[in-house]
Amino acid sequence: MQRGGLYLVFLAICCLHTASGKAEESRHYVPFQSYYDHHHEHHWGPSFQDEKYTQVTSHVGAEALLNCRVVMLKDKTVTWMRNSTDSAQLLTVGPAAYTGDNRISVKFQYPNNWRLSMNPVKRSDAGNYMCQIATHPPRTIFVNLTVLPPVLTINNDQTHDVKDRFYKAGSSINLACIISEDYVSTLPTKAPLTTPIPTTTEATTTTELTTKKMSTVFNRIDLNLNKSWSVETTTLTSTVSISTTTTTKAPETTVVTTARPTVPALVNNIYGLVWKKQGKEFYDNVTWRNMSATISVASASQNDSGTYTCLLQNHSQVIVNVHVISGENQAAVHHDTWNKGTLFWQPQSIFIFTITVLILCLT
């Protein structure tokens, strides 16, 4: 009996040891499972469709679009940053812009392109940009933006900064929007574009038709004069009613078709240059010469003040603010070099003013 009891105790200890081993084995399985899940999420989580390093070029004054295509984004967030040698500047978070620069925005392109838009591009925008997914660790692709010389200039100003230009009332204004020859050389040759003014062909046709109808009525009256009096009366009554209906419709047709178009004919506008003033298309005093569109005002007035924008087929734009000053305010204005005839402070005037101040101080 004692041997049998010892044997049972031994079996019990073995069972307990085996059970504890299985428990430890199950405890070791949890980290392995967690690692498997992490690896599975890394493989099937958000990823990029674009290359890790890409190049984009854009002209000064045009819109730059930097692509960032993300698949299986789920609940993660896409951010754009500008990468410099010592820091990274946050530009956008999701669909919202984070920077105070109103030129920068996210233009999402269905189904998964979180495009960064910079419009219009400046020379200083050239550099490296990062599109990043907020995973752990973050996943990133890099885009290098190269900024090319401007396609459009006003009076050949290559800086492309928005400038304020001052003119005195009565002086001349000349704003020439010019397309770069280098850009034109890359385009196919086009025939001169002319938009003719609509003609009033429909009104002439209506008038001729009315004349034919009236002559037909009169011919019927002449034929009916040879018949009896009763037949003549009936024919005459019906003829009057027809002629009355025709004369009431004719003026309405003539008024509609003879309306003058508001847009004048555009001659020699080969590449589709457009001037806008305060955001609305502007045609007054504009002359097109193939690669340029020039606003020429012989005698400026305050009505000529405003923000002028020259655009090239939604490709590029250049902006200038025009100020026309009249009266006593003219003497306080510093005029730019493109309006040299209106400068008030000449070197001789400054010299005389300086001498006068020195004499007053010495006395």
pLDDT band at 191 (very low <50, low <70, confident <90, very high): very low
- Tell me the C-alpha distance between 168 and 291, whole Å: 29
Residues 141-189 pLDDT 10s: 999 999 999 999 999 998 898 889 999 999 999 999 999 998 888 877 6
pLDDT (mean) for 275-284: 94
pLDDT (mean) for 349-358: 63
Contact assessment for residue 232 and residue 225, using Cβ atoms and an 8 Å cutoff: yes
Residues 97-117 pLDDT 10s: 999 999 999 999 999 999 999
175 burial type by CB count under 10 A (0-12 exposed, 13-18 middle, 19+ buried): buried
Contact assessment for residue 206 and residue 250, using Cβ atoms and an 8 Å cutoff: yes
Q: Quick one: pLDDT at residue 22? A: 46
CATH code at 153-192+264-350: 2.60.40.10
Spell out the domain ranges in the chain.
47-148, 153-192+264-350, 201-257
pLDDT higher at 17 or 336: 17
pLDDT higher at 358 or 11: 358
- Tell me the C-alpha distance between 300 and 322, whole Å: 10
The conformational region for residue 316 under phi > 0 = left, psi -120 to 50 = alpha, else beta, is: beta
Number of CB atoms found within 10 A of residue 218's CB: 11
pLDDT (mean) for 93-99: 95
Q: Model pTM greater than 0.85? A: no
- Tell me the C-alpha distance between 299 and 103, whole Å: 35
Whether 19 has a pLDDT exceeding 90, the answer reads no
- Tell me the C-alpha distance between 106 and 116, whole Å: 5
Q: Quick one: pLDDT at residue 12? A: 59
pLDDT band at 16 (very low <50, low <70, confident <90, very high): low
Residue closest to 97 by CA, chosen among 121, 116, 111, 110: 116
- Tell me the C-alpha distance between 286 and 35, whole Å: 70
Domains 47-148 and 153-192+264-350 share a fold: yes
173 burial type by CB count under 10 A (0-12 exposed, 13-18 middle, 19+ buried): buried
Q: Quick one: DSSP state of residue 209? A: H
What CATH class has 47-148? mainly beta
- Tell me the C-alpha distance between 22 and 20, whole Å: 5
Contact assessment for residue 56 and residue 39, using Cβ atoms and an 8 Å cutoff: no
| Residue 290, φ and ψ in degrees, nearest 5 | 60, -80
pLDDT higher at 205 or 146: 146
Provide CB contacts within 8 A for 225, sequence distance 6+: 232
